[in-house]
A and B are shown apart, each in its own frame.
Chain A
Amino acid sequence: MPRQRQTLPNFAAFFDLAKSKVLAVQEFTLLGLRAFRNVFGRPRYLADTLIQMDVIGVGSLPIIVLTGFFTGAVLALQTSKTLQTFGEVTLTGQVVALSLVRELGPVLTALMVAGRNASGMASEIGSMLVSEQIDAMRALGTDPSKKLVTPRLVATVSMLPLLTIISDFVGVTGGFMVSFFIIRMDPVQYWTTAYQSLHFEDVFQGMIKPFIFGYIVAMVGCYFGLTTRGGTQGVGRSTTQAVVAASVLILTTDFFITKLLLALLG
């Protein structure tokens, strides 16, 4: 029967695709577990970790400062306009601080670092893979997960929270600039409402996320680098896939963390 002949290959193709996706999740998880376990084992590549901290932390600082500042500024512009309708412009500082610390600071910082560093990790490791440098490393007695993945994981997980703090502060400052120079708000009022609106659970929520996002950025970048196939074209593909996957995972995970933390902390 022609219909049956048509259906069977389609089903086989779907089954193969599903199998490959499940395998990818399994490999990603195992790589993550191995990289995490390596943190407590030897050898420790301290020099590599410090280099990655410099690349990820110091290297990302300019874009984090810029995006943080203008996010805070535009947030102040937009919210003051809305709050004006209700005669509550004085709450601008509160809205800017809460939005940035709880949500926008961690997410935008993670997205910026993903765009800059997950792609960098995927292309660097991918290039090493296609030029057989990873095989050479293994041949010379080095575990690539210890030498390449764990330093990037440690560096991203430790740098992202610091970058988020900077982004939050610069963002609130951006909001202040707009409030003071454009909306003509009293500076003391802005800073007082911004400061007083922040409670432990807001800061906790905003600071727990960068650790999880840092793990996602590093692991996705390294995973796509280590699974690169097909020469230089494959490196380009891995780089794009790493940025897309890391961004989607950050936004998806953010929803579930927020839901969980709201349920736990209120």
Chain B
Amino acid sequence: MGVLFLDIVTTAAILFTVASGLMIILGVMKLINFAHGAFLAIGGYAAFVTTQLGWNPWMAIPFAAVVGFVLGLVIERVIVRPLYARPLDAILATWGLGIVIGQVITIVFGREVQFVQSPLSGAIEFLGQSYSTYRLALVAIGAILALALIALLYFTRFGLNARAVIMNEDLARGLGIDSTRVRLTTFGLGAALASMAGALITPLISVDPNLGLPWLINSFMLVLVSGVSIPGLIVASLILGGAQVLVSSYVSAILGGLTIVVLAAVILRIRPQGLFSG
């Protein structure tokens, strides 16, 4: 039982971390960023470069965040901005962008799996179980991330502006909030979060140009189910991640892989606005 509990909590923490960047962008910009998977890959390769340069493996996290942020700013300006009024087209354009990023990574780094040094390895005794140290660390990191995001939204100038834009963009603009700037920063932030998440999961996965693809759909489903709120995303990660672990453990790991997608489609049919909204 203890292991099951740890599996669920750590899986939820990973899902939360991976999906947070997508959620920030959807929440503020009402835009679904299908290049999310590509940003995860960028993070993975930032971690790879960190290893190549011989830096401390923990450095991969801030490095990935910076790379993601800068790229996010550029992409928002060039590609995303013309698409605000066309949300379905934005999905397609960002998907195309994901293809482009994936191919550029392939051309620069090659198609093969790269190896990244892990900041933590091995297992420790926890709750009477020998359990992966890094997965446990990810729970702490996920928690810090959630708190940091809440703090950012509720205790900073940017957060105030962002919340104003979320509630009523026209009104916010009327109040002198530069909503274009808020959107720009948000996209950069979302890209930075995704990229950081990509670096964070590299010790668990293999680094290759398509590493983000399997995560994209699950993140997308989680964010929609969450009703686009941070507590909602935490709960959605726990419920859907938990369901995935349970199905994988007691039924079959193959069905487990479909759990999030199917469950999300059903939940959204019953509650289109997500679990924790309105």
Partners in one complex: no
B interface residues with partner A (beta carbon < 8 Å): none
A interface residues with partner B (beta carbon < 8 Å): none
